Chain A
Amino acid sequence: MTKDITLTIDGKEVSVPAGTLIPDAAKKIGIDIPVFCYHPKMEPVGMCRQCLVEIGRPAFDRTTGEAVLEEDGSPKINWGWKLETSCTNPVSEGMVVNTKSEKAVKGQNEMLEFQLLSHPLDCPVCDKGGECLLQDLTLAHGGTESRFNFDEKRHAEKKVALSDLIWLDRERCIQCGRCVRFQSEIVGEAVLGFEARGSHTQIMTTSEPGFDSAFSGNTTDICPVGALTTAQFRFGARPWEMEATASVCTECPVGCNTVLNTRRDVKTGGKVVVKRVMPRQNESVNETWICDKGRFTDFSADSRLTAPSIGWTDAIASAAQNLSAADEPIFVVDGSLPNEDLFNIKSLADEVGAKAYCYSEVGGGELTTKSGTYGKSGAGDAILVIGSDLYVDAPIFWLRAKQAVDRGATLIVATEEETRLDNFASTVVRDFAQGLEAAKEAFSKAENTVILYKGDDALAQSCADLNPTSLVGVWNDANTQGAWEMGYEAISDLDVLKGKTVYVAGKSALVASALEVAKFVVAQTAEDVQIAVSITEASGSKCVTLPSRNISESLGTFTSAERRVQLFHPAVPAEGDTLPGFVITAQVAEKMGVTLDIEAEDIFANFFDLSYADLSKTNPEEKLLIGGNCYENTQGVGVQL
């Protein structure tokens, strides 16, 4: 426990832990010190000089060590000659900070004039315009006129592709180095750097291919100007025109909190579409970051089926009739479905006495349901990553493993191929047995132990035998963990479906594989089913397709691999006549004489001792850790099971 230190900022007293920097202490009592280069999650560098303040420290008598007092008995304060950068100064006892004195404000205003010295002021066409820190601070601290010559602005190429995803505008850059530091400090991949000096300083990428990192999109969020922007969102919309809806990323089982920015779009015929995906803060999951896989998720599905080809009434009737007529109907799902869909399908299966399987290539579901928290590991903890290249499978888990190492955790990597995590691991082996052996030894000395595995049942079992504090499966889908919690049986090949009547729900790939073997398939999917339909015709098997809504269109919950249940909201209107998955199941069930709930919230209450209101609780204190355009979490951080 660090000691609290009391200081005075603008006449207000505040107590903060030792080591806190002045901008953070000020933010705590609602005083905003203007910053560009400072970011609460990174080491300060004092590069932009924007956060100039007056700092006074109490005077001490050098011979006695006693505090010197003024005549009126108050402590004597020594004021420095010059303004100091607040971001590089940790708080000290009795410190007095003036952020709004005439001298400090003059310093801040003049620094801002320097920032604008060579800025092109092309705000009308800049993708950052409207959510730009430089715009905000210019409004607060900028003068109406610059004393510098407009004609002598530095010119550079306007559009430099750092990678396929990220574009750099060197004119707009104010050399704060946030992106460079993010890559080297937080991600540990120093692929960005500064080149040249003085007014010619510019950002460049040192990797081949350019900006080779799975977290590159985050630099566009923390860039305080429009220097780094994404190619995907280029001229997509002005930030103020978009709606923001809380969602959860579905690309991997980490369950990063996101916000879907939506807007009406002419190019898609006037539909409301997802324009971009932004991170939403959740300090227990993704902090303020998301990976590029999640950020650049493509929500457009042009060839999607938007209504059953034979109409809803007939489709539901046909599905119910075929399922009722079958001797042993089988229900198969995958982890792409939300908990509500999974529950209704499981309920229906239970009612008709059928088997309910969840398709997963990764085994060990029954083991992870006991302990699935990953949490924030640090000194004294040990982590084993076995069988998974986290950088590809679950990038935010990768980032957290790397940061755990930074905090002093022991990391053991056991994978068949080389991975990017090897550089941070204390032990790297290319053999699972050796990995487990090494982990056994490390775990005997560690306090908290975490295993992240990806493999079959046998691997899961041998991981569980090590008795870790947390056993986390790196599933292929976002909600596979949710299916295990619900009691689905695992299945890794679809041979059991041979000649059977099957209710399949999930990705189109699963539907396609089921069609190859099953006698009759009731397919519930939100994906493109063109492939599936062409296979039906080829194989001569029969199929009825029930198009469901996707994540951006529906309300529901996901359970992450760490067993955190999180809520997502509908961001765009449903496409065509699609229905929520749980409603489709309920309608089929009704025809079969089984009554199921049709409201997401009611269904949720059936299987968790929780409500949506519990999932919507937030932690307002955390927003002090946001630096950049990451959304504050106002819609709920979810619940850890």
Chain B
Amino acid sequence: MLVELLRGLKTTFKMMLDKPVTIQYPEQKREVRPRYRGKHELKRYDNGLEKCIGCALCAAACPADAIFVEAGENTDEVRFSPGDRYASTYEINLLRCIYCGYCEDACPTGAIELEHEYDINFSSRLDAIADKDKMLVSLANDLSTPQETKPGTFTRSIPDMENPADY
């Protein structure tokens, strides 16, 4: 009987010396995989302009109908994105979202990306609606929108995509 007891305790002591597989969440956070699909971010170009052109293709692709987009028109005085059109309203209902990433796939400019933030919590249903303010990234160079741009700089209806591999 003692032998059986010691045999069992052997496993116990062995596991005590092993590196634990659990972590002390939320004090500690685990690094996620590069392709992890967490909370959405709306990207900017290096010059601070928004990549989103308000085409609503993400909303069309969304299987959960979680995205609402309304478009506005850029002018040289008040410019949000390089082309004619920008998203004046961009909202994702994070309670509806199933984090499938179809919006990323649908996006013609690579404006929306599901990033690595996963501790998404809200205290009310209204808080669950992420708008542009909550999703637009801030750049290190602090450039933001709207911007006043020189006439003739942005004459195309959609931004020129020099290197399609970027998107």
Residue numbers of A with Cβ under 8 A of B are 120, 122, 124-126, 129, 157-159, 169, 234-235, 237-238, 240-241, 264-267
Contact = CB atoms under 8 A, between A and B. Distances in A.
Contact of B55 (A124, A265, A267): A124
B60 interface: yes
Given A158-B84, A240-B60, A266-B88, A235 B73 contact: yes
A125 B72 contact: no
B48 interface: no
Which of B59, B71, B72, B88 is most buried by chain A, counting CB atoms within 10 A of its CB? B71
Contacts of A265: 70
Contacts, number: 52
B68 to A, nearest CB: 8
Given A125-B158, A235-B85, 7 more contacts: A122-B158, A124-B109, A125-B85, A125-B157, A158-B157, A234-B73, A266-B70
Contacts of B60: 238, 240-241
A599 B9 CA distance: 82
A158 B88 CA distance: 21
Contact of A159 (B57, B70, B84): B84
Contacts of A157: 155
B146 interface: no
A169 B156 CA distance: 11
Nearest first, the 5 closest Cβ-Cβ pairs linking A and B are: A124-B55, A235-B71, A125-B85, A122-B157, A266-B89
Nearest to A267: B70
A523 to B, nearest CB: 36
Interface string B108-120: 1100000000000
A237 B55 CA distance: 9
Interface of B: 53-57, 59-60, 68, 70-73, 83-85, 88-89, 108-109, 155-158
Nearest to A171: B157
B84 to A, nearest CB: 6
A236 B80 CA distance: 17
B108 A124 contact: yes
A383 B88 CA distance: 52
A190 to B, nearest CB: 29
A169 B85 CA distance: 14
Contact of A124 (B53, B59, B72): B53
B56 A158 contact: no
19 contacts: A120-B157, A120-B158, A122-B83, A122-B158, A124-B53, A124-B108, A125-B84, A125-B85, A126-B157, A129-B55, A158-B84, A158-B156, A169-B157, A235-B54, A241-B56, A241-B59, A264-B68, A265-B70, A266-B88
A269 to B, nearest CB: 12
Contacts of B53: 124-125
Contacts of A240: 60
Which of A125, A129, A265, A267 is most buried by chain B, counting CB atoms within 10 A of its CB? A125
A580 to B, nearest CB: 30
Nearest to B60: A240
A124 B88 contact: no
A240 B55 CA distance: 12
Nearest to A124: B55
B56 to A, nearest CB: 5
A266 B87 CA distance: 12
A264 B108 CA distance: 24
